[in-house]
Structure 1
Amino acid sequence: MTKAEFLNQFHHLRLPHLEPDFPLTKTGRPAAVLIPLIDYGTSLNVLLTERAHHLRHHPGQISFPGGAVEESDNTLFDAAMREADEEIGLPPSHVDIVGVLTRYRTVSGYEIAPVVGFVNPSFELKLDPNEVESAFEVPLAHVLNRKNHLIHKTHLNKRSFPIYFIPWQERMIWGATAAILRNLSHHIHP
């Protein structure tokens, strides 16, 4: 899928199917992540990170650059770009924001705004070892293909909800990251 093909599918007025998220009993803590689409001209890849192994929450989990919205952030876009710069050294000047997907609520109490942006591939990764163990790319076509998505149902407080998985080589993309990619898939391929 090219940038032009992605934009043609992304900008539409139809309401896409959304996967169920975690049913929070109150408003979640605002967070924003960047879905960085590396634009190689003839194809797009998604840049993902592996969270540092020493972190207290979600160590080693595959994620997008992002985190909680801070008081200094004027918008969700600002939060996503600040976090991407801090975590992987992605300067805002290398990102062309496309839009934002529907927010996704997590079991840890966050309400995540997934910001989609095209990334110029000429930037050099500068990983913050306090937050990121590694970074890697996955072809966008792979994560958008729902044949590559696995769903496991789990129960919490007598309620059933899904956990999503997307295998890629020796890694497993799962949880909120996989759910957000699945929602992006529904948005692009309704």
Structure 2
Amino acid sequence: MTDLLTDALPTMWEGRRIDPDFRHMVWLLNTYRRAETDEEKVQLMRDAAERFFAEPVSDPQLPDAFASLMRFFRGCADDAPGGEPPEADAGAGEITLDYHCDAAYVLGAFQQAYGIDLTTDKVHWWRFMALMQALPQETALSQILQIRTTDTSEMDPATRQRYEAAKERYALPPELKGGARDVTPQQHDAAFLARFR
């Protein structure tokens, strides 16, 4: 990976010009778990390549180009393994952040902590991820992520009850936790909104 402090962030990746804006990677993360069929996965690869690479990628080049995109996603060099889907990094644990459901918290955190308006500013994906990792605890997003990931098993009953209530309030929709999968963005949104009815 590039040294974030001393090297220019890449706008060329493995011989191809790219658009390194964070929006493409967020789109990929939000879209990936909806792709169920092989046809949908191929279309996802096409759409991702079209968003990320400056020049068109032919179908025969698509698997290699998508593997290259995934190495960029992870910040790896071209000789590192790659090409696995974004969720492969998540491990077996629950998803604690969803850029679709948590969009307002992400926007607010960047505005609060860094004065960056993610609705208008272009931010390189690697810079975006570095800033995400360094968000101060004072942001609502950091506090929500802490609530979602806190182990309550060793807490006294009163504290556990408060944390469990907070976990329920800020829980992601069940389909994001390995349950039923969404077929459409509308179903995803409906499942999320149903929690508040």
TM-score normalized with structure 1 length: 0.29
Q: Which has the higher helix share?
A: 2
Larger strand fraction of residues: 1
Q: Select the structure with the greater relative contact order (CA < 8 A; seq sep ≥ 6).
A: 1
TM-score (norm 2): 0.28
